[in-house]
Amino acid sequence: MKQKPTLKVIAKELDVSVSTVSKALRDSKEIGEETKNKVKAFAKLYNYRPNNIALSLKNKKTKTLGVIIPEIVHHFFTTVISGIEHYANDKGYNVIVGLSNESFKKEVINLEMLANGSIDGFIISVAKETLSAKDYHHLSETIDQGIPIVMFDRVIDEIECDKVIVDDVKTSEKAVQKLINSNCKCIGIISTKDYVSVGRLRTEGYINALKSNGIKVNHNLILKIDDKFNSDDNLEFLEEQIHNYFETNEVDGLFAVNELYAITAMKVARLKGLSIPNDLQVIGFTDGVLSKHAYPPLTTISQHGFEMGEEAAKLLIDRLENTNEEEEPFKTTVVKTEIIDRETTKL
Amino acid sequence: MKQKPTLKVIAKELDVSVSTVSKALRDSKEIGEETKNKVKAFAKLYNYRPNNIALSLKNKKTKTLGVIIPEIVHHFFTTVISGIEHYANDKGYNVIVGLSNESFKKEVINLEMLANGSIDGFIISVAKETLSAKDYHHLSETIDQGIPIVMFDRVIDEIECDKVIVDDVKTSEKAVQKLINSNCKCIGIISTKDYVSVGRLRTEGYINALKSNGIKVNHNLILKIDDKFNSDDNLEFLEEQIHNYFETNEVDGLFAVNELYAITAMKVARLKGLSIPNDLQVIGFTDGVLSKHAYPPLTTISQHGFEMGEEAAKLLIDRLENTNEEEEPFKTTVVKTEIIDRETTKL
DNA sequence: CAGCTTAGCTACATCGTTTTCGTGTTGATA
DNA sequence: TATCAACACGAAAACGATGTAGCTAAGCTG
């Protein structure tokens, strides 16, 4: 086992000073050609690489980004991480991932654990518990300490920072409009409780679409699921709620605010003997593996998670590397969406 | 924006020395009660937290783990990451994620980027390209430098390090045996090319099961998909290969080495008018979202990815924190598997 | 009262790097 | 020959924290 060489050992070995070695490796013109070559050759031979930690301490920047998400076993979030990684790596940044598991406490711990110099900035999608508790002090304090935050998907209006979102309202309008155009007479929505911003906004879009088509909004057709935690865990609960929903409503068009709700609704509908898309048309939100491989393949809205990730990383790194005296104003980037036509809708 | 206070500013503010502050905060008995209280109160007021980077430099350990995986938009890998995170966080470690995208070059870059002091050890699942090229110098060099590596799932026999695997051979035997017991007369397997260790081993298990039941092995029934990269990208290619396979083989039982192959095979079979599980029984490997939500829900083998992650983190952290003089011998942990009975098999 | 202990604090080195500010030597110039 | 620039390099500070060793004053003992 050979230890990583440091400037000091190279210096001693070649009988020059540490500063000379450092300068030679950085190709400073202060150092003579001969010495430079000697040092470089030696460094190459022993595979010298500057110690990142020492550099971080000196430069007061770590070149790593902290990403905090509610869960990682989740297609959308991992797609976003891919995008973040891609852009970040390209710019020489590393990505350190923290999981909140939708828990406020874990979110706070993660933030504190990383805010002690380990990272230069955060990219975060807020936990449901945080959203419902409306306790954002950890976020504002972090920003206060000069650590920039970029929020994506689940954002908080009250906090001033860069944000990357999708136009949930407009997108949902489009989806519901598509159902209307496909001759659906009774369109329902399966959404989340209102404290989840995306659920609220998508419901808003659903209502807008109905209204602008002169359709009266029937609040029984709006199902708001209360899944505080990982929804995969209480699948039966979800199925039961959807089952009850179908018992009391005769829908022929359904808009679900995520894949799982859509897939589960399809499953329940199938059990009731409904044929998709003949008896019931379905549109989901988020284009994940489930949608693509479902039977029948689900018509859904692609959020372009990869682009969201890239954009979030870009916003963050831009801010980190902005050397201007004046602070840049905060930006909110809206990533465009797209309806992926598959087989759960007609037309 | 208030900057993070350092020991130095606290010291100056309270007119004591830096060491006094440090010791007071660590509750050293060298410092008088009065001074301690004063310092602690001040530190609390200004929310002092020791700078992680400085600590890392001093202690020569970063308390972060580097995880390098082929892709992150993948249920199994994210489940493993969850397990790693869970155990690591518990022990006060952070997790930094690198993606190889199945590329040898990216794997090397990621390793080098992190091996410069940023992390204390690696947890890695090797890229397909690395496996097929059989070039492991980056791994052995890393270990040589004293940075421990734990491999999981896709491991390399030639490299000596801790490993976490599943008993692929035995597990596959069990799965195929189940098909035999369910009266399948012609059982096929969809696997990967042999350089992917898990594909090779699972094929081995398939062959073992047939042999031990006195069934002659027909090599036409063994389909080895060559997907060097993310298999989601060349879905048509996969479908085509499976389609051809079904054209030339009349199988009534199918074992697939991953979810996607299983689901895709089911889709192709359905197109051919086959009914599942009546005409064709299917068992997959890896219990992901696809299996659970497929139609019909897929009988599959759970690898317990979460436990694998926890175990990998445990092996790594144990080694890192082992203060004994002698090196511990390398361990290979075999995580148990389980067949999840769903609706693509009879019985 | 010399000598010793001890409480309570400070100085300093250290981790690995970069960077500023010297400093000594050479060769050229006035 | 004194002066000066250019060259090639070294010493030291700095980043933030920790720990060892050293120092001072007070209190005690014989």
Q: B94 and A94 in contact by Cβ < 8 A?
A: no
According to the model, what pLDDT value does residue B233 have?
Answer: 64
According to the model, what pLDDT value does residue B323 have?
Answer: 79
pLDDT digits (tens, 9 = 90+) for B66-118: 999 999 999 999 999 999 999 999 999 999 999 999 999 999 999 999 999 99
For testing the chain B interface, which of A67, A94, A342 should be mutated: the one with the most B CBs within 10 Å? Answer: A94
Query: In B16-102, where do the E strands start and end?
Result: 64-69, 94-99
Query: Of the candidates B78, B114, B295, which has its C-beta nearest A72's C-beta?
Result: B78
According to the model, what pLDDT value does residue B234 have?
Answer: 79
Distance from CA of B344 to the nearest CA of A (A): 14
B172 to chain A, any CB pair closer than 8 A? The answer is no
A78 to chain B, any CB pair closer than 8 A? The answer is yes
- Chain D: nucleotides below 7 Å from protein CB are 7-12, 14-22
Query: Of the candidates A79, A99, A267, which has its C-beta nearest B85's C-beta?
Result: A99
Pairwise CA distance, residues A128 & A108, whole Å: 13
Contacts of B41 (CB under 8 A, 6+ apart): none
Q: Using an 8 Å Cβ cutoff, are A121 and A66 in contact?
A: yes
Q: What is the mean pLDDT of chain B?
A: 94
Cross-strand pairs, A214: none
Phi, psi of A116 (to 5 degrees): -90, 40
According to the model, what pLDDT value does residue A305 have?
Answer: 97
According to the model, what pLDDT value does residue B1 have?
Answer: 73
Give the amino acid at B6: T
Distance from CA of A211 to the nearest CA of B (A): 34
B96 to chain A, any CB pair closer than 8 A? The answer is yes
Q: A116 and B51 in contact by Cβ < 8 A?
A: yes
Q: A73 and B75 in contact by Cβ < 8 A?
A: yes
Q: Average the pLDDT over A179-187 and give the result.
A: 96
- DSSP readout, B288-345? -HHHHHSSSPPEEEE--HHHHHHHHHHHHHHHHH---SSPPPP-EEEE--EEE--SSS
Helix (H) or strand (E) holding A41: helix A33-45
Q: How far, in Å, is the CA of B60 from the C1' of nucleotide C5?
A: 37
According to the model, what pLDDT value does residue B224 have?
Answer: 95
Residue whose structure tokens are 């692609």: A302
According to the model, what pLDDT value does residue B204 have?
Answer: 97
Q: Average the pLDDT over B227-245 and give the result.
A: 79
Q: Is A225 helix (H, G, I), strand (E, B) or coil?
A: strand
First-to-last C-alpha distance (Å) of chain A = 66
Distance from CA of A236 to the nearest CA of B (A): 13
Give the amino acid at A194: D
According to the model, what pLDDT value does residue A226 have?
Answer: 83
Pairwise CA distance, residues B136 & B209, whole Å: 32
A304 to chain B, any CB pair closer than 8 A? The answer is no
Distance from CA of B5 to the nearest CA of A (A): 10
Q: A293 and B96 in contact by Cβ < 8 A?
A: no
Convert B130-154 to b/e letters by CB count within 10 Å (16 or more is b). Answer: bbbeeeeebbebbbeeebbbbbbbb
Residue A229 pLDDT > 80? no
A316 to chain B, any CB pair closer than 8 A? The answer is no
Q: Using an 8 Å Cβ cutoff, are A228 and A102 in contact?
A: yes
Q: B290 and A290 in contact by Cβ < 8 A?
A: yes
For A146, name the nearest residue in chain B, comparing CA atoms only: B1
Q: Average the pLDDT over B304-327 and give the result.
A: 92
Nearest Cα neighbor of A80 from A152, A162, A128, A129 is A152
DSSP single-letter state for residue B228: -
Pairwise CA distance, residues A64 & A88, whole Å: 8
- DSSP readout, A301-329? EE--HHHHHHHHHHHHHHHHH---SSPPP
Pairwise CA distance, residues B339 & B347, whole Å: 13
Pairwise CA distance, residues A67 & A122, whole Å: 6
Q: What is the mean pLDDT of chain A?
A: 94
- DSSP readout, B85-141? HHHHHHTT-EEEEEE-TT-HHHHHHHHHHHTTTT-SEEEE---HHHHHHT--HHHHH
Residue A45 pLDDT > 60? yes
Q: Using an 8 Å Cβ cutoff, are B243 and B236 in contact?
A: no
Q: How far, in Å, is the CA of A285 from the C1' of nucleotide C4?
A: 81
Helix (H) or strand (E) holding A187: strand A187-192
Radius of gyration (C-alpha) of chain B in whole angstroms: 26
Cβ contact B12 with chain D strand, < 7 A: no
Q: B73 and A82 in contact by Cβ < 8 A?
A: yes
CA dist A102 → A154, A322, B126, B337 (Å): 12, 32, 30, 28
CA-CA-CA-CA dihedral for B69, B74, B76, B82, to nearest 10: 70
Residue B11 pLDDT > 90? yes
Contacts of B297 (CB under 8 A, 6+ apart): B291, B342, B343, B344
First-to-last C-alpha distance (Å) of chain B = 66
Residue B228 pLDDT > 70? no
User: Where do the domains of chain B lie, and which CATH numbers do they carry?
Assistant: 7-50 (no CATH), 62-166+305-335 (3.40.50.2300), 168-303 (3.40.50.2300)
